[in-house]
Amino acid sequence: MANHRRISIITGIIFLGLLLLLLFPLFSQKGCPEGTGYSNPLFSQKGCPEGTGYSNPFFHKRGVPKGRSILTPFLIKGVATKLTGYLIKSRRRVEEFFPGTNQEVKVYSIFGKRKGPTLLVFGGIQGDEPGGYLAADRYVSLNLKKGNLIVVPRLNLAAILAQKREGLTGDMNRKFALPKNIQQDPDIKVVNLARDLIANADYILNLHQGSGFYSPIWINHQRNPLRWGQCNVIDAFVFDLPNGERLELESFAQNVVRRINSKIQDENYHFLVNNTNTGDKKSLHKEQRKSLTYYALTQKHKIALGIEVTKKCSSPQAVAYLSIVINSVLKELGIAPEEFPGEDPDSIAEELKKNEKFSGLKVKINGCEKLIIPGQNIFLKIGEPLQILNLETEKSRGWYVNLVNSGSYNALGQTYWFTKDNKLLIHKDGKLIASFEIMPRSYLLGSLEVNLDGRVCRFHNQETILLPKNGRLRILKVYPEKDKNKVKVNLKGFIGNKGYNDGEDSGYVISADDLIPKYALDYPENTFYRIEISEQGNLVGEVFLKLT
C-alpha cells in the first residue's frame, strides 16, 4: 500500500510538472512582437501574424517556432491537447488590437462548456449602420452552455466615430480582395485581422443596415431587387469545395429565415434570402466580390451571411431585428447560451438609453485626480499636463474621447500638455454625448488647497475632489491667500465643531462617514457634496466632493 501511495504521489508530481511546462508560456508577458497589435499568442486562436516567428501551439497550424519551446511535438499533440480542452471550458477572453488609435478593435471570445460550432459576428464594418455594432455589443457577455462565439462589435472604429460608411480610406467591405501585404492602405491591418478571425470560425455573420426592403421582384421604389433591407445575403446557392463536399448556403439561410419570421408579426418586415450570385458573370452585385462574406466563402470555405436590416426603422427596432437574427442563427447551429438577449424593441430602447448615461470625466492634473462633470470646463496653466483617465458611465464599451486637433479620436489614457485653448469631445460610438472646453486658468477664480490621503492638491472653481471610501480629506487653505477672518470654507453636510457649528471646516480630517446624507446633492445616492467658499458672506467659489 505504501509503495502504491508513493507511486501515486510521484505520478502527481510529474503531471503537475507537465502542466507547469504547458502553462508557463500561457502567462508569459512577452506575447507577440511589439508593433504587431497582437496580444499573447497562447490566448489567441490565430496566434501571431505570419512572419513574426511566433504562433499559438494549441490553435495555430504552424505550431511552435523552432527553438522557442521545450515542449516536444508528441507532448503538444498528446497531453497538451487534453489539458487545453479543460482550460478553455467556460472561459472568455477579450483581446485588444491597435489600442489607443482610431483603428482600435476589441475581440470578445466566449467558449462554451461543451463542444460545438464557432460563430463569428462582425458589426460596424460600415460606420453609418449603428444597428450592427449596437446589436453585436449585446452578445459579448453571454455565458455559453455549448458551442463558441467570437464577437467583433466595432470592426471599423474610424468609420463609426465619423458616422460614415467609409473609414480612413474608403469602404472596408470592399477591401477583402486586396493583397495582405499592401502598404498603401492603412485599413489593411484591420482587414487582415478579420481574415485571421474568419479562418478560426465555422460560420460568419456580417451585420448591416440597408436601404428599403429587398424583394426578388419589382414592387415599388422601396421594395425591389436592388434594395437590401430585411434579408439574409448569400453569395451563392451552394459552393463546391475542392474535396468534393458542398456548402449549402441557401438551405442554411432559409432555415434561419423561417426561425426569424416566426418572431416577427408584421409581414412587411419579414426576411427573405437574397442570393447575389456574386461569382456569376451576370451578377447584379459584382462589387460583392471584394466583400468580407465572399472572402470567407471562396478563400476560407465558410458559410457566411450578410445580415441586412432596413434603415426604415428606429435604432431600437433595428437592434431588435438583428437580435432576432443572431438568436435564430445560434439556435440553428445548436450554440446554447444560458440566456438569450431580449428581442423587445421597447426594452432595447431603455437599454440603449441607459448605456448612454454619462456622469463625468476623470482626469489627473499635476498628479491629482479630479472629476469633471458635464457643464464644467477644464482650466490649466500653459505647459500643465492633463491625463485623461476614464469615463463615469453605466457601461464601458463604445465610449471614446476625442481631443480636437490631436489626430486621434481615442485619447483615453493619454497625457496632453496644455499650450492653447482646446476641447474634449465625448462620444458613445458615433454619437456626441458631452464636450469640455480646455481653457487657460484665471487666477481670479482662486483655488482650494487640500490634503487628500497625504497628497497636497489644489482644486479650482467647480472642480471635483474624488474621495475614496476609506480616504481622508483635510481642507488646508484658499488661494490667493486672504484674511482668515474674512474667508470661510464650508463643506455642506459636515460639522467640524460639534459644540459650535460656525460653518468653517478648514483643518478638520474628514471621511465619508462624517458626512450627513441629507445634504448630498444626489440624495439618496449620497455620493456628491458641495464645498462653498465665501468671503465676508459672499460666495466666491465652489468645489465639489465625490465619494468613490
Q: How far is CA 161 from the centre of its chain?
A: 13
Q: What is the pLDDT of residue 13?
A: 60
**In terms of Cα–Cα distance, which of 192, 223, 3 is closest to 97?**
192
Residue 9: the pLDDT is 54
Q: How many angstroms separate the CA atoms of 279 and 237, rounded?
A: 11
Asked whether the beta carbons of 509 and 334 are under 8 A apart, the reply is no
What was the pLDDT predicted at 446? 73
Retrieve residue 330's grid coordinates: 445560434
Q: Which residues contact 248 (CB under 8 A, 6 or more apart)?
A: 238
For the packed helices 345-355 and 315-333, what is the interaxial angle rounded to 10 degrees? 110
Please tell me whether the peptide bond between 524 and the residue prior to it is cis, using omega within 30 degrees of 0. Answer: yes
Which set of grid coordinates corresponds to residue 374?
458635464
- C-beta contacts of 518-522 below 8 A and 24+ residues apart: 518/493, 519/492, 519/493, 520/493
C-alpha cell read off for 457: 492638491
Residue 21 φ/ψ, nearest 5 degrees: -60, -35
- pLDDT score of 21: 52
Whole-angstrom distance, CA of residue 312 vs CA of residue 302: 30
User: Cell numbers of 86, please?
Assistant: 479543460
8 Å CB contact between 401 and 425: yes
Q: Which three cell numbers stand for residue 389?
A: 483617465
Confidence at residue 357, expressed as pLDDT on a 0 to 100 scale: 92
SS3 274: strand
Residue 284, C-alpha cell as written in the block: 447584379
pLDDT at 524: 87
Q: Give the C-alpha distances (Å, rounded to integers) separating 490 from 283, 508, 525, 534.
A: 75, 11, 21, 8
Give rounded-to-5 percent helix, strand, coil for the chain.
25, 30, 45
- pLDDT at site 154: 97
Q: How many CB atoms lie within 10 A of CB 256?
A: 23
CB 167 within 8 A of CB 156: yes
CB 328 within 8 A of CB 135: no
Residue 17: the pLDDT is 58
Residue 123 burial by CB count (10 A; 0-12/13-18/19+): exposed, middle or buried?
buried
Q: How far apart are CA 504 and CA 495, in angstroms?
A: 9
Q: Among 70, 69, 75, 85, which residue's Cα sits nearest to residue 15?
A: 75
Write down the pLDDT at residue 60.
36
Q: Give the integer Cα–Cα distance in Å for 53 and 64.
A: 9
Residues in a beta bridge with 416: 386
Mean pLDDT in runs of 10 for the chain (548 residues)? 49 57 46 42 40 36 34 35 39 90 94 96 96 96 96 96 90 94 90 97 97 96 95 96 94 98 97 95 92 96 97 97 98 96 96 93 88 86 88 88 79 86 90 89 71 92 90 92 84 89 91 93 89 85 91
pLDDT at residue 43, rounded to an integer: 37
